[in-house]
Amino acid sequence: MIEQLKISEKNVLAIEVIDAFTETDERYCQKLFEQKREQGFEQVNVLVKLDEIKISKTSIKVFFEDMVWVLRNYKHLGHLAIVAHSNILKVLVPIDNLFFARASKEREERYFDISQIEETFNFVNETSKN
């Protein structure tokens, strides 16, 4: 299930994935992202909180479909903040930054612990384009 954490007038999309990530959730996220684009934002900064997600309840098919969508829309993705309490994600985010370094000029992906949620909102809002 997807829940929007805060609604912003800026180019910021802040969501939380609760329990699992389904095909319906994937479509909803894409719709929210496209709404930001329709408001005239070239790039959208995204905050994704994964604190309550249960990976075992998330479809591999949906995960890969979402990754394909992200790759197709990568030029419209601004800064990405991953909020979780996960040592695996804490390690993967810097690796992801290295992998996409050439395509990510002026973009940054950062991992934040759950305890840093306010810092996370500051990160996506400070880098937002009005």
Which residue in this structure is represented by tokens 């996960």? 86
**Token pair of 24, please?**
């319906």
pLDDT tens digit sequence for 69-98: 988 988 899 999 999 888 888 888 888 777
Lowest mean pLDDT of 91-95, 108-112, 125-129, name the range.
125-129
Mean pLDDT value of segment 106-111: 86
The 10 Å Cβ neighbour count of residue 57 is 10
**Token pair of 54, please?**
């249960």
Burial label for 79, CB within 10 Å (0-12, 13-18, 19+), is: buried
Per CATH, which fold does 2-125 belong to? Transcription Regulator spoIIAA (3.30.750)
